[in-house]
């Protein structure tokens, strides 16, 4: 399996510190040696770096971890190819990125959906895989659902998006294990199917207090990380949970028209 890491913060926070903590698990202290990737946001655009080499041996990742890069939203991933026939390749390395509605959408997955690949992508779908993995195909299915389900309305909220993808997420998780993190730069949309943990931090800086939520497949530190409930969907924005255990906070994003069938690739 793979490992996920993500961050949502109320103020731009250093990304490199968390990458440095994840690195050893990519081939040194853990078996996830088939690639690494990280995406962090600058406004609506994601900067995506990835390489199909062991994270623990990557000079590129080490250099990136040393940079004073700051962001309010970040997703990282270390990969263990399963099945191994879909081996080390850039196209198979998470996180995956697509554009929709004028934003970079980024997705990373931990788990295995072996029966999904038998079905493949619908030929008329806007979103097509570049690689061979079930993970990227699942991402395309979710984006199909978003583009087809939200339609022509001018605005949508995080709850609308969760309601839009819930049916396709339920279908996909029936194929196997489906822990994932999806982001549009504003929010982290998190599905904890079997194994995902979270940690809340409050960081005091010279510019004030920053709220932060960290998410990881396995806890990175000795702090009191908590497991998310299996089968649950959560949304985090600016270091707070806005969909999940707490009441939904209002937020709206512009919509665009879409003609893609919901779940067309299933």
Cβ-contact 237, 38 below 8 angstroms: no
pLDDT, residue 85, reads 65
Q: Which residues are catalytic?
A: 2
Q: Tell me, what's the pLDDT at 135?
A: 95
Query: Domain extents for the chain?
Result: 3-254
Give the per-residue pLDDT at 263: 32
pLDDT in tens, the chain (266 residues): 699 999 999 999 999 989 999 999 998 888 888 899 999 999 999 999 999 999 999 999 999 999 989 999 999 999 977 766 677 899 999 999 999 988 999 999 999 998 888 777 666 788 999 999 999 999 999 999 999 998 656 578 999 999 999 999 999 999 999 999 999 999 999 999 999 999 999 888 777 788 999 999 999 999 999 999 999 999 999 999 999 843 334 443 333 333 223 233 32
Count the neighbouring beta carbons within 10 Å of the beta carbon of residue 175. Answer: 19
Ordered DSSP codes for 215-266: EESS-SSSS--EEPPTTEEEEEETTEEEESSSPPPP--EE-----PPTTTT-
Taking a C-beta distance cutoff of 8 angstroms, is the pair 260, 126 a contact?
A: yes
Please state the CATH superfamily assignment of the domain spanning residues 3-254 in this structure. Answer: Aminohydrolase, N-terminal nucleophile (Ntn) domain (3.60.20.10)
For the beta sheet containing 226-227, the strands, ordered from the edge strand earlier in sequence to the opposite edge, are: 45-51, 36-42, 70-78, 3-14, 208-216, 197-205, 226-227
Neighbours of 17 (CB within 10 A): 10
Extended strands (E) in 92-144: 96-100, 103-112
Q: Please report the pLDDT score of residue 245 as a whole number.
A: 46
Paired with 105 in beta bridges are: 98
| pLDDT for position 232 | 94
Which stretches of 90-185 are assigned E, i.e. beta strand? 96-100, 103-112, 155-156, 177-183
């Amino acid at each position: 399996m793979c490992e996920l890491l993500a961050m949502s913060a109320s103020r731009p926070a250093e990304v490199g510190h968390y990458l440095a903590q994840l690195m050893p698990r990519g081939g040194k202290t853990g078996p996830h040696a088939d690639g690494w990737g990280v995406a962090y946001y600058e406004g609506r655009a994601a900067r995506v770096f990835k390489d199909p080499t062991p994270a623990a041996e990557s000079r590129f990742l080490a250099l990136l971890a040393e940079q004073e890069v700051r962001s309010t939203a970040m997703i990282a991933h270390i990969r263990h190819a399963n099945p191994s026939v879909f081996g080390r390749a850039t196209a198979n390395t998470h996180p995956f990125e697509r554009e929709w509605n004028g934003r970079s959408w980024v997705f990373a997955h931990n788990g295995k959906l072996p029966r999904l690949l038998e079905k493949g992508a619908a030929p008329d779908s806007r979103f097509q895989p570049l690689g061979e993995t079930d993970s990227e195909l699942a991402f395309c299915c979710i984006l199909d659902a978003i583009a087809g389900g939200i339609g022509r309305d001018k605005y949508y909220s995080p709850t609308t998006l969760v309601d839009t993808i819930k049916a396709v997420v339920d279908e996909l998780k029936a194929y196997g294990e489906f822990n994932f993190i999806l982001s549009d730069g504003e929010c982290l949309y998190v599905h904890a199917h079997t194994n995902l943990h979270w940690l809340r931090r409050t960081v005091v800086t010279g510019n004030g207090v920053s709220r932060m939520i960290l998410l990881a497949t396995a806890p990175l530190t000795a702090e009191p990380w908590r497991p998310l409930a299996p089968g649950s969907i959560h949304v985090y924005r600016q270091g707070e949970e806005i969909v999940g255990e707490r009441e939904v906070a209002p937020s709206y994003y512009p919509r665009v028209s879409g003609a893609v069938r919901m779940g067309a690739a299933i």
